[in-house]
Amino acid sequence: MKIHFSAEQIAAIILGKIDGDAAVNVSSFGKIEDALTGQLTFLANPKYEEFLYTTKASIIIINDNQDIKQPIHSTLIRVKDAYSAFATLLSTFDELLTKKLTGIQDPVYIASSAKLGENVYVGAFAYIGENVVIGNNVKIFPQVYLGDNVTVDDDSIINAGTKIYHDCVVGKKVTIHAGTVIGSDGFGFAPQADGTFIKVPQIGNVIIEDNVEIGANVTIDRSTIGSTLIKSGAKLDNLIQIAHNVEIGHDTVIAAQAGISGSTKIGNNVMIGGQAGFAGHLQIADGSKINAQSGVGKSLKVPNSSITGSPAFDYVSALRSQAIMRNLPEMEKRIKELEQMIQQLMDEKITTP
């Protein structure tokens, strides 16, 4: 389905000012370097400025302060932040594409005790268990599994192949991407005297608050007791492991392949780089920044700290250490030269009458 936007309509959505033909239409998006007529693009990074004058895009979103140095044939829409405006427009476009998805495809299994709201879409081969509650405008894509007593609130999107185990709660306007597993058992085993392990039943759940986005193939374990909690506004990339009883704070972002061990509490507005790992039972203060591949073994108690490395420590100190490491070969050479000079002076002192 193609949706056409005029420059005038786009400017109204992103609160922009038009330079050029306000009636020109676009129906798709393209990168500025190879966009075609009928497409919309944007310029936010100055290193791509050369393409501003060569692109065939019909409409370009640019920053207010962008200077025009050559003739441009495209219609321009000036905004305060071109990247943010483009993201807003993509969200609007995506909503229009999914908004018309309603109805229940065949075959599906929906338990008789399940309750579905208005304008719900359920894709083929989905399974909806006993006492499931699905809110209004929810999209359940093919092969999704919703276990007994699951709740999915209004305007949420559960993409293909997602599995949400029993008793878990998904808030409003949550997006969960394909293949993610919510509510699988936490890794709880009690060691025995004979060296074996007995499983500790995981009887809690997972609660995902409003406006959360979770990437593909993420695993969020249910709590032993209580809830594993993903607070409102959090954004999780693909391939992340979140263990039992973890809490992720409001508007925290986590990049791909990070792993968070059980009962660790991540604060609000924390930024976690890819492949970072956290030991269990830690407290990470609000506003912390964890560099990619950091190994975090201790709690961070000072808000807005930045750390890196494995084991992770203060970011600025780590950079200084790296600089010293790079200079070690030269330092070793100089030390050997100094040792030779000292030895030579000592030899001369010994031989001097």
244 is catalytic: yes
SS (H, E, C) 6-75: EHHHHHHHHCCEEECCCCCEECEECCCCCCCCCEEEEECCHHHHHHHHCCCCCEEEEECCCCCCCCCCCE
CB neighbours of 138 closer than 8 A, spacing ≥ 6? 117, 120, 121, 152, 153, 154, 155, 156, 157, 158
Structure tokens at 161: 């192949």
What's the CA gap between 266 and 273, in Å, rounded? 13
Is the torsion defined by CA of 142, 147, 148, 152 positive or negative? Answer: negative
Name the one residue in this structure whose structure tokens are 């999704």: 144
CA distances from 98 to 91, 110, 233 (A): 11, 22, 21
Give the DSSP H/E element, type plus range, for residue 326: helix 315-351
State the pairing for strand pair 197-199/189-191. Answer: antiparallel
Looking at the DSSP bridge assignments, the partners of residue 61 are 42, 77
- Given the residues 4, 244, 250, 281, the one annotated as active site: 244
Q: At what angle do helices 7-14 and 82-99 cross, to 10 degrees?
A: 110
CA–CA dist 324, 335 (Å, integer): 14
Q: Are 234 and 217 in contact, with CB atoms under 8 Å apart?
A: no
Kindly state the helix (H) or strand (E) to which residue 330 belongs, with its residue range: helix 315-351
Question: Residues 190, 197: contact at Cβ < 8 Å?
Answer: yes
**Separation CA 58–CA 87 (nearest Å):** 18
Instruction: Cite the active site residues.
Output: 244
